[in-house]
Chain A
Amino acid sequence: MTFFGVSRLQRFPRGQIVAVIAGATALALVFFAIAGTNAGAAAAAMVNGAVGTPYAFFSGTLVRAVPLILTGLAVAWAFSAGIFNIGVEGQFVVGAAAATAAALALPFDGMLALLICLIAGSIAGAGWAGIAAWLKLRFSVLEVISTIMLNFIALQLLAYLVHGPLGDPKGIYPQSPPLSPETWMPKLIPGTRLHVGFAIAVVACAWGWYVRTRTAAGFRLRLVGANPAAAWIAGGVSVQRVTTTAFLVSGAIAGLAGAIEVTGVTYALYESISPGYGYTAIAVALLANLNPAAVVVSGIGFGALEAGAAAMQRDAGVPAVLASVIEAAIILVLATTRMRPGRASPAPVADALAESA
């Protein structure tokens, strides 16, 4: 039986090429539909805003890249273990909220306070992921659905906090009081907006790369992601322990990202603290082929895309949300080459869990 002239029994042989061409064409069409005759100016504004000047690169692109690298690492870590953590967005938000709460509650400020904020954010992120991990462990609830639900709950929690307990009593906007400058993340390069969080993100990725490729724990992680049944039957690996740990680590990294964003960029908590970092993170991780070292590069790439899109809206009047369309196209094209079915699909995880239970 064939449909559209393609036999379903054979893998579409020129899949990637077709996908790339279709994706590029669709992108071009959408771009011109939106930008119209302004397309050339828009493209120029975008490139200029991302890498045109040293300031644009260090204070725009790289600052924007920090949350994307960390959330991308969070997604890559979970996906590597076959855990579809779509909840990085929510874990980022609760991490940001916990860091703000810690900063405002602490009776002192300074570097120790900053450290406590970062730890608080990580714990909150891990805890938020822990809810989904527990639901999966105890009730076999699909993490895809539970993490999406938790994202929405996190956004409502954030709204509640900035309108209520964490809100600035003196301010007119729904946001927290500003953090004490003593607790702000120090600048990495003086004269730019680039903060130490960038170094933390790079170190986290290096650590992730080392664990994933050079340690027994990393080997178990990849083994479980590739084939949980084999990991359990032939390798004697506790699939549940590996996947749950990966889930919590993923959440902790996402929470850390939120804490760094508050202490390094916004200095206050407000409702739109994340413009969807947790979703862009999926594109970041897939482009890096789930490799933590490559996440740094793809994170900077997406940072450039988003910083450029913001400049495009400012200078050429073309909506910045166009960046989402480009991200989606990248995910779709990469999905045809990366994350091949059977490599890290959730179904075998469920099988192995059933067997190991």
Chain B
Amino acid sequence: MAALESFLESSVRTATPLLLAGLGEVVVERAGIINIGLEGLVIAGAFGALVGATHQGLGAGFAVAIAAGVGLAILFYVFVDLLGTDQIVTGTAVTILALGATGAMYRSWFGSTGAALSIETSAPLMVPVLSSIPVIGAALFHQPITTYLCYVLVPATWWWMYRTHAGLALRAIGESPNAALVSGIPLSRYRFTALCFGGALAGLAGATLVLAQVGTFAEGMSAGRGFIAIAVVVLGRWNPAGVAVAALVFGAATALQFWIQALGLRIPYQVVLAIPYALTLAGLAGIAGRVSAPAALGRPLTRDLSS
């Protein structure tokens, strides 16, 4: 029972950054944009959290992380929507840029030995009463503050997307930018804002890694979480609630390695680490034909508007 409890607790903990990044990416993709640079936004957020927390403490850590994510998202917006570059190529460049820049800055500012081990971290907050529920109590109510933020953001994003005019406008842009435009929706403003929202949450995802999970920064510590978050969005069928479920499945798949170690099973460590990625492929194949992406996803604006 204790093993199960700690498995569930680490599932939710591992799922939190994926859910944050995925939730932002849902909004972005519903506006017809696929931001492969998400991986770069997460590592930028992680490094921002380190810088902020080193100099000004926890609050600054989160703030700088958000700023870093938003900054890169704006860079992506400028290239994709204003300069008309390809989304996949631009996203790849943003990821390479962020991984390279954070690595170089980390080495030259903190030394190659990694001096910043003494930053203030965000300890898990225990919710009274609720956290003592058997089995799931600790998993759901003994988590860092960003997990609780997810509890608010998932329903709020869902409600905004499906129950407000603005949410409808966003989804319209993702399906047909032309139609959205001629019905008077300020398309650029929506896409810009969506990307900023996605950037802020990706930054928070990185901050969660540094401030609430690992306690320090390491080069490339995002370790593909941004890419998995993109897969989570697809598996969650472009719906905030679905994304929450998909992120939890991923968290559980990753947490499985601790459980397997605890049970003493002789499965190679690397096989377990590969499970989330294999699961993504299986999931993507499994939903084929039953889910459709936003119709304009990944398409350049200029082509749609000129055709």
Interfacial residues, chain A to chain B (CB-CB below 8 A) = 1-4, 6, 8-9, 11-12, 15, 18-19, 30, 33-36, 84, 86, 131, 135, 138-142, 144-146, 148-150, 152-153, 156-157, 159-160, 163-164, 276, 279, 282-283, 286, 318-319, 321-325, 327-329, 331-332, 335-336, 339-342, 345-347
Contacts and interface: CB of A to CB of B under 8 A. Distances in A.
Contacts of A324: 96-97, 99-101, 103-104
B270 A345 contact: no
Contacts of A140: 288-289
Contacts of B86: 335, 339-341, 345
* Shortest Cβ-Cβ A-B pairs, 3 listed: A324-B100, A341-B300, A328-B97
Residue among A2, A86, A325 with the highest chain B CB neighbour number at 10 A: A325
A6 B224 CA distance: 35
A159 B224 CA distance: 16
Given A135-B284, A149-B281, A12 B271 contact: no
Given A322-B104, A345-B298, A282 B270 contact: no
A329 B186 CA distance: 30
A8 B285 contact: no
A64 to B, nearest CB: 17
25 contacts: A1-B187, A1-B189, A2-B188, A3-B188, A3-B189, A3-B192, A8-B187, A15-B83, A30-B104, A35-B108, A86-B92, A142-B284, A145-B280, A148-B227, A149-B280, A149-B281, A328-B97, A331-B89, A332-B79, A335-B86, A335-B93, A345-B299, A345-B300, A346-B298, A347-B299
A356 B190 CA distance: 35
Contacts of B97: 324-325, 328-329, 332
Contacts of B6: none
B277 A153 contact: yes
Contacts of A341: 84-86, 299-300, 302-303
Given A145-B234, A322-B100, A156 B83 contact: no
Given A152-B274, A153-B274, A319 B103 contact: yes
A230 B68 CA distance: 43
Contacts of B100: 321-325, 327-328
B231 interface: yes
Nearest to A146: B281
B301 interface: yes
B28 interface: no
Interface string B81-112: 11111101110111011011101110110000
B92 A145 contact: no
A332 B234 CA distance: 26
B202 interface: no
A331 B82 CA distance: 16
A325 B94 CA distance: 9
A274 B294 CA distance: 35
Nearest to B288: A139
A101 to B, nearest CB: 16
Contacts of B89: 282, 286, 331, 335, 339
A34 B231 contact: no
A34 B105 contact: yes
A160 to B, nearest CB: 4
Contact of A152 (B34, B81, B101, B277): B277
Contacts of B34: 144
B274 A1 contact: no
A286 B285 CA distance: 30
B85 A318 contact: no
Interface string B191-204: 01000000000000
A325 B285 CA distance: 35
B130 interface: no
B59 to A, nearest CB: 24
B271 A160 contact: yes
Residue among B88, B90, B230 with the highest chain A CB neighbour number at 10 A: B88
Nearest to A323: B100
Contacts of B188: 1-3, 8
B83 A18 contact: yes
A331 B231 CA distance: 24
A319 B107 contact: yes
Given A8-B188, A149-B231, A141 B281 contact: yes
B274 A156 contact: yes
A149 B85 CA distance: 24
Given A8-B187, A139-B285, A163-B270, A30 B101 contact: yes
A9 B104 CA distance: 39
A6 to B, nearest CB: 6
Contacts of A325: 97, 100-101, 104
B235 to A, nearest CB: 10
A279 B92 contact: yes
A335 to B, nearest CB: 4
Contact of A335 (B79, B224, B280): B79
Nearest to B285: A139
Nearest to B81: A8
Contacts of A30: 101, 104
A35 B300 CA distance: 37
B265 to A, nearest CB: 16
B17 to A, nearest CB: 16
Residue among A160, A331, A341 with the highest chain B CB neighbour number at 10 A: A341
Interface string B250-282: 000000000000000000101101100110110
B123 interface: no
